């Protein structure tokens, strides 16, 4: 096993990469390999099988893409694919495909993304003409294999990227079926954020004496390069949409993902934000592939600047221009929080993570802070005065830029000229700024949001929270069937929409086999192959044990606490 602690080659040329690839990497601004690249590329170039354990965002794509491209350079073009890369989601398939095309652009590498949700006919033409690399989700790859449109008899390299995620999403049977029709002498590389027993079993069955590369915690963290400012605001529930708008006005992000727990909340918040003048669109599991592609294209082009999404829908998304992540509710687990905020602050770019917490959720914020060992600053929500001051500051900056650029102002002389003859020009300018400032806000934006007292154990000043606030928080939680201080967690269930599972099926299974009532169960998300269910933390282990003893829609399912790889 290679235990890498952050050291690496001084440059890509030292890894025995071809000069053509080193030239491309230099043009793309790559200077030195990341730890996973420095550790994985040499054994892959030497033809060894490899198991790489590292988090997403550490440069894994280049670690396997560059050796594949070097093999293409050595062999030239061919009809059947030289390499197959299996990934868990269509979003990741597109990203890996785009990365490999950029690395192999000068050498004419033919890379095709193959995934579900797109008409299969669109993929038949390129496959028939011949491609060098296929990047595919397991289900759609197996569809093509059964149709005879994807032939793997000449395959030389197979990559399993984010293997633990693929197994968690229920692709074990498809992966085994694909492995069964690939040549025995192929080279296999498996990358995974974690190596649970199921992954270890797959390694023993299908890899030949693999080199093992495991990044130490320090190496993984440094490679990920997260530079994220983390802030939380305590906000009364009824004012969260207004609070989000106020924070966005002060932050002025380039592009933002706002995470909501359910589809309904995504749709409601998107409508509310658009009504407040923001450019927002929704992304959730109830949308088809064309709708999702259209939304992502609009975000990447700058046509919208806010994406409101569920965790399930946003899996695998990597958006270069993203500057902010907002948790509209406190995530149910530290792992989910890390997964979300890891979408910003990569590759040396600074990012901001903002969490809107209800007063009863402040302990969840502290739990996440302790688990991640990262400071989360709990700040007071900006006031109307703060917002007005910020708007005036922006207006002053905009006016100054307009004057410095020498913008054409002749069209407005007919308005200012007569007034200048009657009033002092300075007073005319003040009146114009006042009118512009008043026109920039809506009555709702100017509404004051009630301040929330910081709980005594967080303020550190010995004062107690107001009894009335405590009674209100306790009353809300009693109506929801939970104790005010009780934390929640999400459970992963390996069955979903494709098996006909509905929310009521999960609620019925949980309430029928455990001590929980329907009121105790929180948000439920159902994807095609898995579901996520929020339950009280104190009952999570009992619910897992109970569901493992029963069936859902006539099928047994893998049930465990949700686990996201850090990204």
Give the model confidence (pLDDT) of 70-79 as tens digits.
999 988 767 7
**Of the candidate ranges 135-149, 259-273, 317-331, the one whose mean pLDDT is the lowest:** 317-331
Long-range contacts of 152-155 (CB under 8 A, 24+ apart): 152/80, 152/81, 152/84, 152/178, 152/181, 152/182, 152/183, 153/80, 153/183, 154/78, 154/80, 154/81, 154/82, 154/183, 155/80, 155/81, 155/82, 155/83, 155/84, 155/182, 155/183, 155/186
The answer to whether 296 and 316 are in contact (CB under 8 A) is no
**Of the candidate ranges 51-60, 236-245, 257-266, the one whose mean pLDDT is the lowest:** 51-60
Question: For the chain, what are the domain ranges?
Answer: 2-222, 385-439, 487-561
| C-alpha radius of gyration, the chain, whole number | 27
Q: What value does the mean pLDDT take over residues 195-213?
A: 90
Q: What is the pLDDT of residue 165?
A: 81
Report the alpha-carbon distance of residue 332 to residue 535 in Å, rounded.
9
Its sign, for the CA torsion 149, 151, 156, 158, is positive
Q: What is the pLDDT of residue 439?
A: 67
pTM of the model: 0.53
Its sign, for the CA torsion 263, 265, 267, 270, is negative
Residue 394: how many other CB atoms lie within 10 Å: 14
DSSP state of 112: E
Q: What value does the mean pLDDT take over residues 296-315?
A: 83
Pairing of strands 50-53, 187-192: parallel
Report the alpha-carbon distance of residue 533 to residue 261 in Å, rounded.
10
For 474, half-sphere exposure in the C-beta direction (CA atoms, 13 angstrom radius) is 7
The answer to whether 233 and 354 are in contact (CB under 8 A) is yes
Percentage of residues in the chain having pLDDT higher than 90 = 25
- The separation between CA 321 and the C-alpha centre of its own chain, rounded to angstroms, equals 13
- For 534, the enclosing helix (H) or strand (E) is strand 531-536
Which residue reads 């917002």 in tokens?
Answer: 387
* 10, two tokens: 């001084």
Class (C level, CATH) for 487-561: alpha beta
Q: Residue 460: is its pLDDT beyond 60? A: no
2-222: CATH superfamily: P-loop containing nucleotide triphosphate hydrolases (3.40.50.300)
3-state secondary structure string across 36-90: HHHHHHHHHHCCCCEEEECCCCCCHHHHHHHHHHHHHHHHCCCCCCCEEEECCCH
* 565, two tokens: 């790889």
Kindly indicate the confidence band of residue 396, based on its pLDDT and cuts at 50, 70 and 90. Answer: confident
Mean pLDDT (the chain) is: 80
* 430, two tokens: 């003040």
CA distances from 27 to 13, 14, 22, 110 (A): 14, 17, 9, 20
């Amino acid at each position: 096993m290679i235990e890498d602690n952050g050291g690496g080659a001084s440059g890509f040329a030292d890894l025995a990469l071809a000069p053509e690839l080193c030239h491309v990497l230099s043009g793309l601004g790559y200077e030195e390999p990341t730890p996973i690249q420095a550790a994985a590329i040499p054994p892959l170039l030497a033809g060894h099988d490899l198991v790489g354990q590292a988090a997403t965002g550490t440069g894994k794509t280049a670690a396997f893409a560059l050796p594949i491209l070097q093999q293409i350079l050595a062999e030239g073009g061919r009809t059947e694919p030289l390499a197959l890369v299996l990934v868990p989601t269509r979003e990741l398939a597109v990203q890996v495909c785009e990365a490999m095309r950029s690395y192999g652009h000068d050498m004419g590498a033919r890379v095709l993304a193959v995934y579900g949700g797109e008409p299969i006919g669109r993929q038949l033409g390129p496959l028939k003409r011949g491609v060098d690399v296929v990047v595919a989700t397991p289900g759609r790859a197996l569809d093509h294999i059964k149709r005879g449109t994807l032939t793997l008899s000449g395959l030389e390299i197979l990559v399993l990227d984010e293997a633990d995620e693929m197994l968690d999403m229920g692709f074990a049977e498809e992966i085994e079926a694909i492995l069964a029709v690939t040549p025995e002498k192929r080279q296999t590389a498996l990358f995974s954020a974690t190596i649970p027993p199921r992954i270890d079993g797959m390694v023993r069955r299908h890899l030949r004496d693999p080199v093992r590369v495991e990044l130490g915690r320090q190496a993984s963290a440094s490679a990920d390069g997260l530079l994220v400012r983390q802030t939380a605001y305590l906000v009364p529930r009824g004012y969260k949409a207004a609070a989000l708008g106020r924070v966005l006005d002060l932050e002025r992000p380039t592009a933002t993902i706002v995470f909501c727990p359910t589809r309904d909340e995504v749709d409601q918040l998107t409508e509310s934000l658009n009504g407040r003048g923001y450019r927002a669109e929704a992304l959730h599991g109830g949308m088809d592939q064309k709708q999702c592609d259209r939304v992502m294209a609009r975000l990447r082009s700058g046509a919208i600047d806010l994406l409101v999404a569920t965790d399930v829908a946003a899996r695998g998304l990597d958006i270069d221009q993203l500057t902010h992540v907002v948790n509209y509710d406190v995530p149910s687990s530290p792992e989910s929080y890390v997964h979300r905020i890891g979408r910003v602050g990569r590759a040396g770019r600074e990012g901001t993570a903002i969490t809107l917490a209800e007063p009863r959720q402040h302990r969840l914020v502290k739990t996440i802070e302790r688990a991640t060992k990262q400071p989360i600053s709990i700040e007071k929500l900006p006031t109307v005065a703060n917002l007005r001051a910020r708007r005036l500051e922006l207006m002053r900056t905009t006016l100054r830029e307009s004057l410095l650029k020498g913008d054409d102002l002749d069209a407005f002389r007919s308005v200012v000229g007569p007034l200048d003859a009657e009033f002092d020009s300075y007073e005319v300018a003040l009146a114009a700024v006042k009118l512009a400032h008043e026109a920039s806000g809506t009555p709702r934006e100017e509404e004051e949001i009630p301040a929330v007292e910081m709980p005594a154990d967080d303020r550190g000043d010995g004062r107690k929270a107001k009894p009335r606030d405590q009674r209100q928080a306790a009353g809300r939680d009693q109506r929801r069937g939970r104790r005010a201080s009780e934390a929640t967690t999400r459970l992963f269930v390996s069955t979903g929409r494709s098996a006909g599972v509905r929310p009521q099926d999960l609620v019925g299974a949980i309430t029928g086999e455990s001590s929980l009532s329907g009121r105790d169960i929180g948000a439920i998300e159902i994807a095609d192959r898995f579901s996520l269910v929020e339950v009280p933390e104190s009952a999570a282990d009992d619910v897992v044990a109970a569901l493992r003893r029963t069936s859902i829609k006539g099928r047994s399912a893998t049930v465990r606490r949700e686990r996201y790889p850090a990204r």
